[in-house]
Amino acid sequence: MNTSMQPIRKIVIVGGGSAGWIAAAVLGSQFSREQLQVELVESEEIGTIGVGESTIPPFLELLQSLNIDERDFIQQTQASFKLGIEFSDWRVKGESYFHPFGTISAGMDETVFYQSWLKSRQLGDGYELQDFSPASVMASQKKFMLPQQAQQSPIGEARYALHLDAKLVADYLRRHAENNGVKRTEGRVTDIQCRQDGFIDNLTLANGEQIHGDFFIDCSGFRALLIEKTLGTDYSDWSHYLPCDRAVTIQTESTDTPPYTRAGAKDAGWMWRIPLQRRTGNGYVYASKFCSDDEALQTLLAGVEGKHLTEPHVIPFRTGVRREGWKANCLSLGLASGFIEPLESTAIHLVVRGMVHFMRNFPDRRCDAALVREYNRRMLMDYEEIRDFIVMHYCLTRRDDTPFWRWWQQMERPQSLQETLDYFAVKGELPETMDPLFAAVSWRSVCEGMGLRPQKYSALIDKFDPAVTRAHFERYLKAINEVVQKLPGHAEFIQKNCPHSQETA
C-alpha cells in the first residue's frame, strides 16, 4: 500500500457567484499561497442567478471564520438584519405565524419551558408560544438590537441573520479571496479533459488557454459543467415532494424595512419580500403545472410595493440533489450540487456546509474513496433534513381553495418527515440526529403555526407547581416587553450603526 502523501497543490474553481467566491474565500483563508494555489474561472458573459438574498444565523459564523468585519460587510452589501420569517396564509387564509431565530425558553431549560408551556395551555392559560421569543417580540414591533449587546436581558436569547445583495456579496468575497492570493481568470470553459482514471485533468477556455489542476470545484450553477456533463453524476429529482419549479423575481424601491423576511402563500406557491437597506427583493415561487408564467407575473406585480427597479425575471429550477456531490477529484457546490426552494433561506448555508464537510475530509490528490463516501453521506443528510423541514411547511396546510393546496393535502410525505412528525406529536421533541440545522425550537414554531401541537405534555413537568410557573411566565413576559419597547427601530439601528457604504449606492 502506498501511504506517501500526494498533497493537492492547485484547486480550480469553475464559476463565481456566491458559491464560487465562498469556496475561494474559505480556501484562501485556510491555506497559504505556498501551500495551495487557488484559481477561479468565471465568465462575465454567463453571469449568475444572484437571487439568494436571505441568510440564516450560521452565515455570521462564516464571516467570523474568515476574519471579516461584520459591520463593514453589512455596509458594503447594503444588508439589513433578519430575526426570522413571517408566514401568512399558509395554514388557512387570514392567519400568520412567525419562525424566529434564537431560543424560546423564558430563561429556563428550553425543554422544561416548552413542556411547561404545553401544560399551561392545557390548564387554560392563553400564553402564545411566540410571546416568549425575543426575536418574535422584536420583529412584531420592528425593533432591533444585537443580542450580544444585551446578554443580561431577555434579548440575549435572540439570534439574527442578514438580508443582503447577492451580487455585492460575491464582489466582497472576491476582494477578500484575492487579497489572500486567489487568482481570478476571466473566461468561458469550452472543453474539459479527463485522465484515464476518470479524474479531471484540465480545462480549455474559449481563448484556447488550458488550466490544469489537482482538484476542481464545480460552481457552474444548473449547467453543472464538471460534475454532470463531464463526470456523469445523477441528479435525484425531488419534484414529487416539492412541485414548485419556477420563480419570477423583481427588485423594487424600499418602502419599509422590517427585520424579517415575509413569505406569503399564494394560489400556486408563495411570494417572498426581502428588505435591504436601499431596495426590496421580491419573488413568487410557483408550480408550473398549477400556474402559467403570465399568471405568476400578474400575482407578483399585484403584491409588490414601491417603484420597480428591474424587469421581471423568470427562473426555472428543479428541486433535488446529487447523491454524489463529490466524485473523483471534483466537488460540486451551490446549484451544481442541488437545489431546494428558498423558503427557509438555506441555499448559501448549503454552500458553506459543503465547504465545512470538504475541509473535514480534505484529501490528497488520490481522493480516497472513504473520504468521498463520508462527504456525500453527510451532505445528503443535510439536504434531506432541509427538504423535510420545507415540506412540513406545506403538508400541514388546511387550505383547499386551489388545486395546488389540495395537492398538498394528499401528497405522500417522505418517510423520514412522517416519523419526525409522529414523534413530535407525542413528545414535542425531535428524534436525535447528528448536527441538525433546524433545532427543536424551529420545528415547534412552525408546527404551532401550522396547527400541529403535541397531544400531551411530559409527566415530568407535574413536579412543578403551576402557580409558580405562571408567576415566572408573567415576570418574563413583563421583562421582555419592557426591554423591547426601549429598543431602537430596525431602520434607526441600521442608520446609526451600519448604514450602506456610498461606494455601493
Catalytic residues: 82
Using DSSP bridges, classify how beta strands 330-332 and 261-266 pair: parallel, antiparallel or unpaired. unpaired
What's the N-to-C CA distance of the chain in angstroms?
59
Angstrom distance (rounded) from CA 101 to CA 198: 44
Cα–Cα–Cα angle for 152, 157, 159, nearest 5°? 125
Cα separation values, 348 from 19, 109, 169, 334, 420, Å: 7, 31, 11, 7, 25
Cα–Cα–Cα angle for 164, 386, 229, nearest 5°? 85
How would you class 439 by CB atoms within 10 Å of its CB: exposed for 0-12, middle for 13-18, buried for 19 or more? exposed
How would you class 129 by CB atoms within 10 Å of its CB: exposed for 0-12, middle for 13-18, buried for 19 or more? buried
Neighbours of 72 (CB within 10 A): 13
Alpha helices in 278-368 (DSSP H): 293-303, 347-360
Which of 216, 172, 202 has the alpha carbon at shortest distance from 358?
216
Instruction: Tell me if 105 sits within 8 A of 113, measured CB to CB.
Output: yes
How would you class 388 by CB atoms within 10 Å of its CB: exposed for 0-12, middle for 13-18, buried for 19 or more? buried
Angstrom distance (rounded) from CA 305 to CA 250: 11
Residues facing residue 194 across a β-bridge: 200
**Grid cell locating 254:** 424600499
Helices 466-485 + 110-122 axis angle, to 10: 110
Query: What residue type is 391 in one-letter code?
Result: V
Cα–Cα–Cα angle for 408, 267, 392, nearest 5°? 35
Query: What residue type is 250 in one-letter code?
Result: I
How many whole angstroms from its chain centre is CA 89? 22
What single-letter DSSP state applies at residue 372? Answer: H
**Grid cell locating 13:** 474553481
In the block, which residue shows the cell 453527510? 378
**Grid cell locating 36:** 495551495
